[in-house]
Structure 1
Amino acid sequence: MPNDYSPTPDNPGRILVVDDLPGNLKVITMELRRYPFTLTTCSTAQEAIEACQNTAFDGILMDVSMPVVDGIEACRRIRATPLNQRTPLIFISAVRIGTDWITEGIEAGGIDYLVKPYALPELLAKLRMLVRLSRQDRVALAGERHRALLEVAGGTAHELAQPLTTAQILLERLIKQEEPPTREQLTQLHDCLESTTTILRQIQNLNTYITKPYAHGQILDLERSSMNPLG
């Protein structure tokens, strides 16, 4: 069977647990000590945001009711951190009446919620889900980056091939001929080199990825991808 991305003792899930009550953090740490999770605990939203700026987690358990900055606002701010802007997050709350906090939490970037008191099997199931989702997402992003790199390479090779080949033919002709190069030949060579300079400048100025058909697939459209988006 292919890897299902679940946490294992050799590859435990990295979980951030945020709760302003030390007793709750102690309980959940004890509950999970025999399971394949590495816990980082924080007692304030600010601590959690700082942790998310330095460490990529597989999942986050976020208490909703916290002083100063509540869990929902903390989630919004965590979504602005590069390392954890996509990390799946579950809210935890002792509130049982009303669903406003649930709706607001999902809209802020959470994917699920737990209501205290919860059963340990339910918590474990949700933590495993967080880890699987996070790892699957990273694999998918890595595949997308690989595809984009292939398109860049393909687009570069395609665009550079003609001027470089023409320049090579001209240089070989100039080397073999006994008379000095004519102005027309030098102009041709200059134009080829100017074309390569333009293409290299387009690569340096890439600001998006727009593809175009080539052979039986797609390659990066260097010209359109390097256009000024404000132009």
Structure 2
Amino acid sequence: MSLPFLPTLDHPGRILVVDDQRDNLRVLTLELKRQPFALTCVETAAEALAFCEREAFKGILLDVSLPEMDGIEVCRHLRQKGLNTHTPVIFLSAMRVGEGWVTQGLEAGGMDYLTKPYSFPELLAKLRMMVRLSRQNEALMAHERQQALIEVAGGAAHALAQPLAAAQILADQLAKQNAPASQEQLDQLGAFLQQTAQILRQIQNLHTYVTKPYADGHILDLAQSSRPETAQDASRS
């Protein structure tokens, strides 16, 4: 029986591999052909950033020595721009441990590193670890979001009950009185209905938040949840 959150052939972990050496990508693809991973292989930093803007990965294997923008800067850019924010990143480099790139990479938001040539069992273990950590984080975020949704839903129900009750009382009074409704009474009724409509819009936004979790699932912001959908939001849903 497999451990929870680990990738399986039926439920593979999606990995982005970034390396400017096409032969390295070809070898890696062959090595992992029968392993529980779905690889997306790119050769440039620009391609990596473009994929991360529209797709979510369970792990990123990122070569340090890339043309135009090195892997450390790519990782820093991902973290700063909120692209695959919580996706674990492991750096690849032919340089030996002890060089400054290790510290720089970890400070940029990387999780670990591999030096070339690496052993296949070590690579496999690190890829499995990335997928497992990513899925554990997603499960935790989903639990936190569920708790927040329960609290907000309860608050919305309580807030909705107040103007509805007031509107019902006023409507009963209007039904029993012989004189036509005064302007003050009509204004009060309109205010109660306006409050009710506002809370209903918040509940609709809450539904949007459930189906399209913005803000990385941590903060329930009803105003934020009603903003237009972006390409990255669509990739998360």
Tell me if TM exceeds 0.5: yes
Q: Any unmatched runs of 5+ in structure 1?
A: 207-219, 223-231
Residue 198 of structure 1, CA deviation: 6.5
2:166 is the counterpart of 1:127: no
- Per-residue CA shift, 1:40-67, capped at 9, x if unaligned? 1111111111121222111011111122
Q: Which residue of 1 aligns with 2:154?
A: 154
Measure, in 1, the Cα distance between the counterparts of 2:144 and 2:136: 12
Measure, in 2, the Cα distance between the counterparts of 1:203 and 1:63: 45
Residue 32 of structure 1, CA deviation: 0.9
Larger RCO (alpha carbons 8 Å, 6+ apart): 2
Identity of aligned residues (%): 60
Matches within 5 A, 1:1-231: 4-80=4-80, 82-96=82-96, 98-182=98-182, 185-186=185-186, 188-193=188-193, 195-196=195-196
Q: Is the CA contact (8 Å cut-off) linking 2:45 and 2:70 kept in structure 1?
A: yes
Tell me which protein shows more helix as a share of its residues: 2
Q: Is the CA contact (8 Å cut-off) linking 1:155 and 1:221 kept in structure 2?
A: no
Q: Is the CA contact (8 Å cut-off) linking 2:18 and 2:44 kept in structure 1?
A: yes
Partner of 1:172: helix, strand, or coil? helix
Q: Any unmatched runs of 5+ in structure 2?
A: 207-219, 223-237
Q: Is the CA contact (8 Å cut-off) linking 1:58 and 1:130 kept in structure 2?
A: yes
Q: How many residues align?
A: 209
Q: Is the CA contact (8 Å cut-off) linking 1:164 and 1:196 kept in structure 2?
A: yes
Partner of 1:145: helix, strand, or coil? helix
Measure, in 1, the Cα distance between the counterparts of 2:122 and 2:97: 20
Residue 22 of structure 1, CA deviation: 1.4
Residue 186 of structure 1, CA deviation: 4.2
Measure, in 2, the Cα distance between the counterparts of 1:21 and 1:136: 32
Aligned-CA RMSD value: 3.0
Distance 1:49 1:155, change over 3 A: same
Residue 24 of structure 1, CA deviation: 1.3
Q: Is the CA contact (8 Å cut-off) linking 1:52 and 1:81 kept in structure 2?
A: no
AA in 1 matched with 2:54: N
AA in 1 matched with 2:103: T
In terms of Rg, which structure is larger? 1
